Structure 1
């Protein structure tokens, strides 16, 4: 079964951290990662909003860097619907929470669902470094949910991965390690440069490739094969 962690980036309000911890407790998650967190006073609103999560999830929350998330997990960034289309590769394509649950079912490996700031969410630069995007379909008239609501909806949809005692599929898909996948991204960057792709479009091509691989969940063998093909192509071009 996929191990799912939750990360909150640069939260400004301790109460929202507590609300997310409570939702984690509701839906069977326990590993909370905090990037640039506010102070979480045991007598403050974070613990007040956390319910029973004050007993284990909040005290055991770990402070990490954004780099740590990218380097050690399959990352899923949560953001509001932005009406961007296939020509924009930062926030598109995205999965809905239900689609994300289906995608991760039966995939072995560590995944972290990343939530951003209360007002502005995750920046485009941050989203560009993540493997997948998850967005909650909402009314176009007001598509933005507050942080606690968004986390509750996403974690609810993941409940069959984290709560239900379901059997794993007979054939388990073993995703490559994050180090192997990051190596594939680096090799692709070298290939793009050697192929003479316009320099100003390198970052966009890299984001597109990251999104494709993020949805594909390549295995270790697939990753090694792709890296080898890209390496040989790069050498020939050079």
Structure 2
């Protein structure tokens, strides 16, 4: 972990644009003020790695040892985020960044200037889309968070909505939730496949409805019941926007079902057995 003077922090803030996500936007740095537990530092480093961030700055941190708890919790962030973490002062952060302080305890109105107004993580994401400046997301201590004096020196306040009975999250959890919400600003691509699907051709969808009508007729349902069920399935399929593969699978299933019902009727006629019972 490297140390840093004010001039170095300023240079880092200026160069942050080189680690941009799409569109030349600067990615935020993450600052943790007086963390008490090395494991939480490692957890935050891992969350940063998960969501496309790399610049970690620590104010008065505990000893971070390569074979210690922080590296054990950091996952792959032990390879870059954690060893490159920079020790800075709170004053340097305030002087060189647009700052967002995090807190679980908020003010209810503008009489509490330090903790009000505040943004949720989702609101902060939308706000930061318009900020093209070096930005620091500042987390406080495990037990006490950021105090009022520190929050009063920061530009914005963010708080994670939680149950009113117990709104205080673990430091590592809070960082993970917040960085997840900011991922649109920091992650170009994820491991998730493209979820855009193409609706099956209408001709195939109509073939399915024809097969389904044959199936309903073969089951012996009365006309008005068959018409109602056919309409229900048409509406259901209309909302579902099935893919070509899904429709083809359904076509194959009902083709076989109809063939078996037709064969059953043929055998019934051949051996003078009663056909599939019809509703009365």
TM-score range, shorter chain: 0.5 to 0.7
Measure how far apart 1:106 and its partner are. 4.0
Whole-Å separation in 2 of the counterparts to 1:158 and 1:92: 21
Q: Map 1:76-95 to 2 at 5 A.
A: 76-95=100-119
Whole-Å separation in 2 of the counterparts to 1:91 and 1:72: 22
| Match of residue 114 from structure 1 | 138
| Match of residue 35 from structure 1 | 59
CA contact under 8 A between 2:118 and 2:156: conserved in structure 1?
Answer: yes
| Match of residue 85 from structure 2 | 61
Normalising to structure 2: TM-score of the pair? 0.58
Whole-Å separation in 2 of the counterparts to 1:58 and 1:2: 20
The C-alpha deviation readout for 1:27-50, integer Å capped at 9, x for no partner, is 000000000000000000000000
Measure how far apart 1:15 and its partner are. 0.1
Structure having the higher Rg: 2
Normalising to structure 1: TM-score of the pair? 0.68
Q: CA RMSD in A?
A: 1.0
Matched, 1:6 2:30: yes
Decide whether aligned partners of structure 1 residues 46 and 55 sit closer, same or farther in structure 2, where only a CA change above 3 A counts.
same
Secondary structure of the equivalent of 2:61?
coil
Measure how far apart 1:152 and its partner are. 0.3
| Match of residue 50 from structure 1 | 74
Whole-Å separation in 2 of the counterparts to 1:93 and 1:2: 25
| Match of residue 153 from structure 1 | 177
Match of 2:162 among 118, 138, 142: 138
CA contact under 8 A between 2:106 and 2:159: conserved in structure 1?
Answer: no
Whole-Å separation in 1 of the counterparts to 2:89 and 2:135: 16
Q: Which runs of 5 or more residues in structure 2 are unaligned?
A: 1-24, 190-280
Structure with more contact order per residue of length (Cα contacts < 8 Å, sep ≥ 6):
1
The C-alpha deviation readout for 1:61-89, integer Å capped at 9, x for no partner, is 00000000000000000000335322110
Whole-Å separation in 2 of the counterparts to 1:124 and 1:83: 11
CA contact under 8 A between 2:107 and 2:113: conserved in structure 1?
Answer: no
Matched, 1:99 2:123: yes
Whole-Å separation in 1 of the counterparts to 2:162 and 2:39: 24
Measure how far apart 1:3 and its partner are. 2.3
| Match of residue 210 from structure 1 | none
Whole-Å separation in 1 of the counterparts to 2:30 and 2:188: 18
Whole-Å separation in 1 of the counterparts to 2:188 and 2:118: 25
CA contact under 8 A between 1:2 and 1:107: conserved in structure 2?
Answer: no
CA contact under 8 A between 1:3 and 1:109: conserved in structure 2?
Answer: no
CA contact under 8 A between 2:104 and 2:167: conserved in structure 1?
Answer: yes
CA contact under 8 A between 2:40 and 2:171: conserved in structure 1?
Answer: yes
Whole-Å separation in 1 of the counterparts to 2:177 and 2:26: 18
Whole-Å separation in 1 of the counterparts to 2:167 and 2:81: 29
